[in-house]
Amino acid sequence: MKILVAVDENAYSRYAVRQAARLAANTWADVVMLAIEKNRSYIAEEELEPSHAHPRLRLLNRYRADFLDALGPGVDLYDDRGDAPFVRREDKVLEQELSGRKTFKLHLRGGDPVKAITSEAQAEGCDLIILGCGQHEGGWGRGSDVPGRVADAADCSVFVIREEPATSRVVCCLDHADISQESLELINQWVTIYAAGLEVVGVLKKGGLREEVEAKMGEVLDYYLKRDVNALIRVVDEDSLETFIESGRKDDLMALWLRHKSPLQRLFHSKRVNALVNHASSSMLILR
Amino acid sequence: MDMLKALVPVEMTLASNVALRYLCRKAEMLGIAVQPVHVEEPDHKPHSSETGWIRRSWESGLRQAGLEEVQRILNSEKLDCFILPNPIVRVGDREDTLLEELRLGGYDFFVEGEVANFNTGAFRKRLRSKLYRQMPCPVLLVRNMIQSDRLALVLDEKTDVESLAARFHHLFGGRDVDFDLCAYAMDDLHQDPHPDELLSEGGEILGSLGYRPARAFTLLGAPETAARNLGDYGMIVAHMDRKSNRKSPLTEVLGLASSPILICW
């Protein structure tokens, strides 16, 4: 698995970095940590200290230390040198290479945060984007809706993580049967990391549960029960799904499978995904 | 200690599957014998023959298919509890058939699966159904396989505490039951009786029957919050007045709860 952790200067990013480290330690993931700055140009940049020319490099270094610290003792996956240089690549990305047994890179990009994050995820072939988010607002700058727009625009799964309290319940909304083993395992990872309960929610179409969705719910339930995960089932009418997601509490993690085949994808057109992610109280995991 | 007899519909649905597995996990705590029942509902299209041997052969075919389905389900689940050897398979209206069997069979309770719905309308509709309004015994509505064996006896201002305690005694008498006593209200203002009085009354009545709750507590708040707070219990036991059509906060709590609920009438 390859994880992209997008960070800014807010406290929720530090929390996101720590959770990303816990996932990386469990899955031995390759990791790219990305900060974004406004596009800058200097007359003689080479004469400046990199950290003076690009203050966000200091931020990345601080989060790098947090990340390595949160991995816990005995996890020897990445290089922990603090003195590796940042190198400008041809595509203007500043990169610090800290790979050990697994890849670990710090990247700094310039420009619009949504474009920067989605381009980075695509360029690096990431499976999951993790980014922090403020309570009831997107964060990432005043009036910004960056997390929601990233969740909507990315090709891979996106975890928009809100600050503590830590998740106590993971809620998976299932509206179709085409879900991958990887996504089930990702859910399992978060359930384990948070020692949380799990609720599998089937979406009712016209008051009924489609046969294949019901069968998949049974399979998913068995999958988690066999792994000693405390899994529950519930259904929600398609018309009430948005209300249901919005009713999630701060200590919930709402997981939605959005695929081209998924009716949820149709139901939650771009603006709704954006609004749901930005305004929900709970953390949101968009699975693709 | 007599074994309790439970009538349990066996169907090819997730809810029925969860109910059967839950029952078998809790068989020791509940001390039950499971009587499987399956009702094949004929379609309502007019048939070439409504009477006579053609009709009887058609019904017999449906019954045979139903029996095979029940046996397939019971075999596939490898259930480790006492299941009565002859499943009942009938052809007819589901509600009428189950009601008739409940009336004639002298069951201690009826058990069926239901996947909890975020909208409590489905639960209220179930409560208003002919089956639920007329069934002669309590119903155990299983929503999830909760590991805990601890029960919560939940009271509200409308609860007939004596009736609930008597039912509890009938179902759990002589068994080692771990339970908490809970008085639920949205708030504790203008409640008659006050939740504390309910707890005290419930404690006294249960005490006179030889039961002592591990914990007695008042649960105040919106139904969503209360349902979540009761989520760790292996079973929620409550009393409902079938004569009243009024929507009560406790009905909402029961509608939203993830745990199995035992409703005594």
Query: Which residue does chain A place closest to B258, by CA atoms?
Result: A232
Closest Cα in chain A, distance from residue B79 (Å): 15
Q: What's the gap in Å between the CA of B251 and the closest CA on chain A? A: 17
Examine domains A2-162 and A169-287 and report if their fold is the same. Answer: yes
Q: Confirm or reject CATH 3.20.20.70 for domain A169-287, answering yes or no.
A: no
Could you tell me what percent of chain A has a pLDDT over 70?
91
Residue of B nearest to A199 (CA): B258
B115 and A240: CB-CB below 8 Å? no
Percent of chain B with pLDDT over 70: 93
Whether residue A233 and residue B224 make contact (CB cut-off 8 A), yes or no, is no
Write the DSSP symbol of residue A143.
Answer: T
Listed in sequence order, the DSSP H helices in chain B are: 14-25, 27-30, 52-77, 94-105, 121-128, 130-134, 161-172, 195-208, 223-229, 249-256
Same domain (yes/no): B247, B161: yes
**Percent of chain B residues topping a pLDDT of 90:** 54
Residue B49 clears pLDDT 60, i.e. is over it: no
pLDDT confidence bin for B65, thresholds 50/70/90: confident
Contact yes or no for A218 and B14 at CB 8 A: yes
Does A208 contact B at CB distance below 8 Å?
no
Tokens read off for B218: 């008042």
A238-to-A151, A152, B48, B117 alpha-carbon distances in Å: 21, 20, 40, 12
Q: Which residues of B touch A238 (CB under 8 A)?
A: none
* Residues B223 and B100 grouped into a single domain: no
Same domain, B132 and B254: no
Domain range summary for chain A, segments of one domain joined by +: 2-162, 169-287
pLDDT band at A159 (very low <50, low <70, confident <90, very high): very high
Cα(B203)–Cα(B197) distance, integer angstroms: 10
Looking at the fold, whether B107 and B179 belong to one and the same domain comes out as no
Torsion on CA atoms A270, A274, A277, A281, rounded to nearest 10:
-120
Q: Is 90 exceeded by the pLDDT of residue A174?
A: no
Q: What is the band of A241 on the pLDDT scale with cuts at 50, 70, 90?
A: confident
CA–CA separation, B265 and B259 (whole Å): 19
Q: Does A199 touch chain B (CB under 8 A)?
A: yes
B18 with A217: Cβ contact below 8 A? no
When divided into structural domains, chain B yields a total of 2
Spatial neighbors of A248 by CB under 8 A, at least 6 apart, are: A171, A254, A280, A281, A282
Q: Is the pLDDT of residue B104 over 90?
A: yes
**B64 and B152 inside one domain:** no
Residue B32: alpha-carbon gap to chain centroid: 14
Average pLDDT, chain B: 87
B8 with B136, same domain: the answer is yes
Strand order in the sheet with A104-110: A87-88, A94-97, A104-110, A30-37, A2-7, A128-133, A157-162, A283-287, A252-257, A169-174, A197-204, A231-237
pLDDT grade for A263, boundaries at 50, 70 and 90: low
Q: What is the CATH number of domain A2-162?
A: 3.40.50.620
- Residue B98 and residue B40 in contact, taking contact as beta carbons nearer than 8 Å: no
Tell me what pLDDT residue B202 has: 92
Q: Are residues B95 and B162 in the same domain?
A: no
Domain boundary among B123, B140, B157: B140
pLDDT at B172: 87
Structure tokens at A139: 């964060």
Q: Does residue B48 register a pLDDT over 70?
A: no
Query: Mind telling me how many Å the CA of A213 is from chain B's nearest CA?
Result: 10
A24-38, A230-244, B63-77: least confidently modelled range: B63-77
Q: Do B258 and A199 touch (CB under 8 A)?
A: yes
Chain-chain contact of A217 with B14 (C-beta, under 8 angstroms): yes
**Weakest mean pLDDT among A37-51, A192-206, B154-168, B207-221:** A37-51
A48 touches chain B (CB under 8 A): no
A222 in contact with chain B, both atoms CB, cutoff 8 A:
no
CATH assignment at residue B126: 3.40.50.620
A170 burial (CB, 10 Å; 0-12 / 13-18 / 19+) is buried
Cα–Cα distance, A233 to A209 (Å, whole number): 13
pLDDT, mean of residues B213-233: 93
Q: Tell me the backbone φ, ψ of residue A34, rounded to 5 degrees.
A: -120, 130
* Interval B47-61 mean pLDDT: 68
Assign residue A278 a region: left if phi > 0, alpha if psi is -120 to 50, beta otherwise? alpha
B233 interaction partners in chain A (CB closer than 8 Å)? none
Percent pLDDT > 90 in chain A is: 38
Of B93, B123, B140, the residue that ends a domain is: B140
pLDDT of residue B45: 61
- Final residue belonging to a domain, choices B140, B175, B194: B140
pLDDT, one tens digit per residue, over A203-223 is 888 888 888 888 889 988 988
pLDDT at B216 over 80: yes
> Does residue A246 carry a pLDDT above 90?
no
Task: Name the closest residue on chain A to residue B115, using Cα atoms.
Answer: A234
ipTM of the modeled complex:
0.82
Domain that holds residue B47: 4-140
Q: What is the pLDDT of residue A184?
A: 86
Name every chain A residue with its beta carbon within 8 A of the beta carbon of B224: 247
Interface test with A, best of B13, B14, B236 (most A CBs within 10 A): B14
Residue A51 has pLDDT above 80, yes or no: no
Domain match, B60 and B128 both: yes
pLDDT at B260: 95
Mean pLDDT of B229-249: 87
Q: Which distant-in-sequence residues (6+ apart) come within 8 Å of A115 by Cβ? A: none
Note whether B144 contacts A: Cβ–Cβ < 8 A: yes
Q: Is A11 on the interface with B (CB under 8 A)?
A: no
- Nearest-CB residue to A236 (from B117, B224, B231): B117
A137: confidence class by pLDDT, cuts 50, 70, 90: low
- Of A221, A234, A240, which is closest to B116 when you measure between CB atoms? A234
Say whether both B85 and B199 belong to one domain. no
Same domain, B234 and B123: no
List all residues 6 or more positions away from B245 whose beta carbon is below 8 Å from its beta carbon: B128
Sign for the pseudo-dihedral over CA of B220, B221, B223, B229:
negative
Query: Mean pLDDT lowest for which of A30-39, A57-66, A252-261, B51-60?
Result: B51-60
Q: What pLDDT was estimated at residue B245?
A: 66
Q: What is the pLDDT of residue B115?
A: 93
Nearest residue, CB atoms, A237 vs list B116, B119, B144: B119
| pLDDT for position A205 | 85
CB atoms A240 and B119 under 8 Å: yes
pLDDT tens readout for residues B130-172: 999 999 999 999 999 988 899 999 999 889 999 999 999 988 8
Question: Helix, strand or coil for residue A138?
Answer: coil
pLDDT at A274: 79
pLDDT at A262 over 70: no
Are B114 and B13 within one domain?
yes
pLDDT value at position A80? 77
What is the reported pLDDT for A269? 59
